[in-house]
Structure 1
């Protein structure tokens, strides 16, 4: 069974489960937020409740359907492993086309495989609005071993600003407290990137 067929099957499964069309806002939003099969299988009830139109009952129905799907070995999808800053950039380089800055978090397991990717916020990076709680809450919920954070520079130039460095150091310190290591902060530019770990800021 191919990944493409898996996703189509999952759309039909979820649409039928919650009595929606497979192209409805709710189903489309689920697949927008959790684009890979693995992210979908790992979704939590709380994450589903954050989607407009999904209440407690629908969220529980979706979780139940996904639990059944997880029992089928054909739904397994190989996780992407991060071995170097280049690997992280290769996974995130689609961010170079974004018109606005986005700050994202990758949750990793003990094998440095990506468990999920989540956009934390959209807008200019500022230490006063990057709350560690919002970054680490999904990591804690998924029992992640470590994390990589990243954001894009729409200008195409990835050189870090003072705010970029300040945010990074703050998140690294919080990571030490909660036991989830922040491995790197990748700044995505146009066809290039900068790793703050390689630059010595971590």
Structure 2
């Protein structure tokens, strides 16, 4: 009887092992399941690490779904324990952070593109709507970012007082609101327009301008100010 150890990654030809292939050819030449296999690290007595990585991808179907998996969902996969699940979550988080602007240097917003670029990697692929506010100083530098709420946008939930309480606390001169559309289509809804007008009116009264409301879809956006919605 063939020993179960033959299933291990050590039995694969050297040039076919993910780690060796990464050294020889570079990470960009590896497939998704090979990169996952390196993160997972080792297989089991019954399966090679490549088999586990392939099954992991098949279970979640896409890297995007895998990126949003919880530690419990990852641990539910045979061969993925708590430590391996943490390695995967940490790797995806590092990848996300690598696309963030350098927070040591304050971002200056001169154009809607600047705000959209600042938020795109955070909001573009979220499965739920997130309403985020950027707080700016008199130089139009971003001094703070805060998620105000998570869920479907409507006027009864997004109240200007929550936004401007934080703006006053931060001594902000102006704000930019933003939220994502999980559908991928950034076209504003009637609720988006109503909420934006209320926030702009409240800001005008207390002297903290709403510079824009950015709606982010699937790596594209709409500036509600630029489109004349308020």
- Which range, TM-score by smaller chain? 0.5 to 0.7
Q: What is the RMSD computed on CA atoms of the aligned residues?
A: 1.3
Question: Aligned to 2:175, what secondary structure does the other structure show?
Answer: strand
In 2, Cα distance between the equivalents of 1:125 and 1:112?
Answer: 26
Q: Given the alignment of the two structures, is residue 183 of structure 1 paired with residue 211 of structure 2, yes or no?
A: yes
Q: Given the alignment of the two structures, is residue 100 of structure 1 paired with residue 134 of structure 2, yes or no?
A: no
In 2, Cα distance between the equivalents of 1:147 and 1:153?
Answer: 20
* Counterpart residue number, 1:82: 109
In 1, Cα distance between the equivalents of 2:168 and 2:223?
Answer: 24
Q: 1:114 aligns with which of 105, 128, 142?
A: 142
Report deviation, 1:194: 0.3
User: Which TM-score applies when normalising by structure 2?
Assistant: 0.54
Show structure 1 runs of 5+ residues with no match: 1-34, 36-75
Report deviation, 1:165: 0.3
Structure of greater relative contact order (alpha carbons < 8 Å, 6+ residues apart): 1
In 1, Cα distance between the equivalents of 2:104 and 2:214?
Answer: 25
Question: Aligned to 2:124, what secondary structure does the other structure show?
Answer: helix
* Counterpart residue number, 2:188: 160
In 2, Cα distance between the equivalents of 1:159 and 1:77?
Answer: 33
Show structure 2 runs of 5+ residues with no match: 1-96, 98-102
Question: Aligned to 2:107, what secondary structure does the other structure show?
Answer: coil
In 1, Cα distance between the equivalents of 2:219 and 2:148?
Answer: 23
In 1, Cα distance between the equivalents of 2:211 and 2:229?
Answer: 11
Question: Aligned to 1:144, what secondary structure does the other structure show?
Answer: coil
Report deviation, 1:77: 2.6
Per-residue deviation, residues 93-113 of structure 1 (Å, max 9, x unmatched): 020111100000000001100
